[in-house]
């Protein structure tokens, strides 16, 4: 299997013109990694974490075995890997003696044999599972480190125990989380995915697990650059309002900043292959007079913790008394502001519905319907239609459905952060 050695480009979409006295500068930064197929790096770690608690009995454990075997088959030769069986404790299923194995035909066959013997029993301690992955990741510094975590139930640990475990592995590896069935908590897996720069999704039908795991491993095997960060410099007197990933999903990175120099901070972007992502950067600067120009921010792509600059873009501010210029909103900024609001509206609406607050649920989910329609986010529109009756999409006029399938509600929740990509100029 071949991979990519990416070359990064950074493009900035903004309306740099501000009216006199204005202080808020917004820009959408598109980061694209391209490259020609090349020999793929084997400096990588893959860990598969499979829930083997008692609730996984029957079809779920059979499907989990099949899915894990499918993922193992996608492992590139030379990649370090391990399989962890998760219940009330974390047990390393393969390799049995601890540490990691190097992927090749014999080790994949050995791991497959171990996985085919998995059985279900015991509780659920997700924090312990994460800690086990973290120990393996610490032994593989500097390379690509990725985990796939599967569960079907609620975490049995105390919140403080789970949070301490999650905080302890932050930055050590990326993690894609999958919940099978409908008895798990979206907020628990979303917390892991957000902290570890991964994804969360529902696999309502266990028979779909194998295809999902195969796709996740194929995606991971396409990554070649680990620990990329967005480095943002702002001028004296300026402050950062936020830094958010806005495509392909919404993820607020603002609180993830680490200082990297005077008026400069790094925001983690995880691992990259050949792909493109969009980020919304908001900066507050000192007000300028008509005719003033300034550099409001310098965006650089760097390898985390290093001075290697992979790409750069500039965010500017120009003050004008021409309202035809200053009143123009960048279409990209407007689009992604709406997509972020869409994700919030869905999550707030579903939370209100669960709490029995039908008035708030109707208002927030109605707003979500209008935003999805306006932005052309057809996938989210279809998911919303399974939870509410849409009477008029443009105005967001809806009626809550009385009987909603749990899987449909959880699918809308987990996929609420998926955005429609903006295409076109400002």
pLDDT digits (tens, 9 = 90+) for 151-169: 999 999 999 999 999 999 9
396 in Cβ contact with 366 (< 8 Å): yes
- Structure-token match 């996608």, residue found: 74
- pLDDT of 77 higher than 70: yes
- pLDDT of 426 higher than 50: no
User: Could you tell me how many residues make up the chain?
Assistant: 426
pLDDT at residue 3, as a whole number? 46
Find the mean pLDDT for residues 93-116. Answer: 97
Across all residues in the chain, what is the average pLDDT? 95
pLDDT at residue 342, as a whole number? 98
Query: In the CATH hierarchy, which top-level class contains the domain 3-38+226-326?
Result: mainly beta
pLDDT at residue 41, as a whole number? 57
- pLDDT of 39 higher than 70: no
Q: Determine which of 30-39, 193-202, 387-396 has the lowest per-residue pLDDT on average.
A: 30-39
Q: What is the pLDDT of residues 317-355, one digit of tens each?
A: 999 999 999 999 999 999 999 999 999 999 999 999 999
pLDDT at residue 5, as a whole number? 59
Q: What is the pLDDT of residues 263-308, one digit of tens each?
A: 999 999 999 999 999 999 999 999 999 999 999 999 999 987 677 8
pLDDT at residue 51, as a whole number? 98
- pLDDT of 113 higher than 60: yes
Sequence spans of domains, the chain: 3-38+226-326, 44-221, 332-414
Q: What dotted CATH number matches 44-221?
A: 3.40.50.410
The two tokens of residue 332 are 């990209």
pLDDT at residue 1, as a whole number? 39
Q: In percent, how much of the chain has pLDDT > 70?
A: 96
Query: In the CATH hierarchy, which top-level class contains the domain 332-414?
Result: mainly alpha
Write the DSSP string, 200-244.
EEEE-SGGGHHHHHHHHHHHHHT--EEEEEEEEE--TT-EEEEEE
| Residue 48 DSSP one-character state | E
């Amino acid at each position: 299997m071949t991979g990519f050695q990416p070359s990064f480009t950074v493009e900035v979409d903004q309306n740099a013109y501000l009216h006199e006295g204005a202080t808020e500068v917004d820009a959408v930064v598109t980061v694209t990694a391209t490259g020609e197929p090349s020999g793929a790096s084997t400096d990588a770690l893959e860990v598969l974490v499979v829930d083997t608690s008692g609730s996984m009995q029957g079809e779920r454990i059979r499907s989990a075995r099949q899915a894990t075997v499918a993922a193992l088959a996608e492992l590139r030769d030379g990649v370090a890997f391990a399989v962890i069986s998760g219940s009330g404790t974390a047990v390393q299923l393969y390799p049995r003696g601890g540490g990691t194995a190097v992927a090749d035909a014999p080790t994949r066959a050995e791991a497959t044999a171990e996985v085919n013997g998995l059985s279900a029993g015991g509780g659920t301690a997700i924090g312990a599972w994460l800690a086990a992955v973290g120990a393996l990741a610490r032994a593989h510094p500097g390379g690509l480190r990725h985990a796939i975590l599967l569960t079907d139930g609620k975490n049995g640990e105390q919140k403080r125990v789970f949070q301490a475990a999650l905080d302890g592995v932050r930055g050590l590896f990326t993690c894609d989380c999958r919940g099978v069935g409908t008895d798990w908590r979206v907020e628990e897996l979303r917390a892991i995915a957000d902290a570890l720069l991964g994804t969360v999704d529902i696999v309502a039908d266990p028979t779909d697990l194998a295809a999902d795991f195969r796709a996740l491993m194929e995606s991971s095997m396409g990554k070649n650059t680990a620990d990329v960060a967005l480095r943002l410099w702002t001028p004296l007197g300026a402050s950062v309002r936020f830094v958010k990933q806005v495509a392909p999903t919404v993820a607020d990175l603002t609180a993830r900043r680490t200082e990297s120099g005077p008026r400069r901070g790094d925001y983690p972007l995880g691992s990259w292959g050949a792909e493109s992502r969009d980020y919304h950067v908001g900066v507050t600067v000192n007000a300028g007079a008509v005719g003033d120009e300034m550099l409001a921010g310098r965006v650089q792509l760097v390898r985390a913790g290093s001075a290697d600059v992979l790409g750069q873009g500039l965010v500017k501010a120009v003050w004008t008394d021409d309202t035809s210029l200053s009143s123009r909103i960048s279409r990209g900024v407007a689009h992604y502001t709406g997509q972020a609001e869409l994700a919030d509206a869905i999550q707030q609406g579903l939370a209100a519905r669960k709490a029995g607050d039908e008035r708030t649920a109707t208002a927030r989910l109605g707003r979500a319907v209008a935003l999805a329609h306006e932005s052309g986010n057809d996938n989210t529109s279809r998911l919303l239609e399974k939870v509410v009756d849409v009477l008029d999409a443009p105005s967001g006029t809806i009626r809550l459905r009385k009987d909603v399938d749990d899987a449909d509600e959880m699918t809308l929740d987990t996929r609420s952060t998926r955005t429609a990509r903006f295409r076109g100029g400002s």
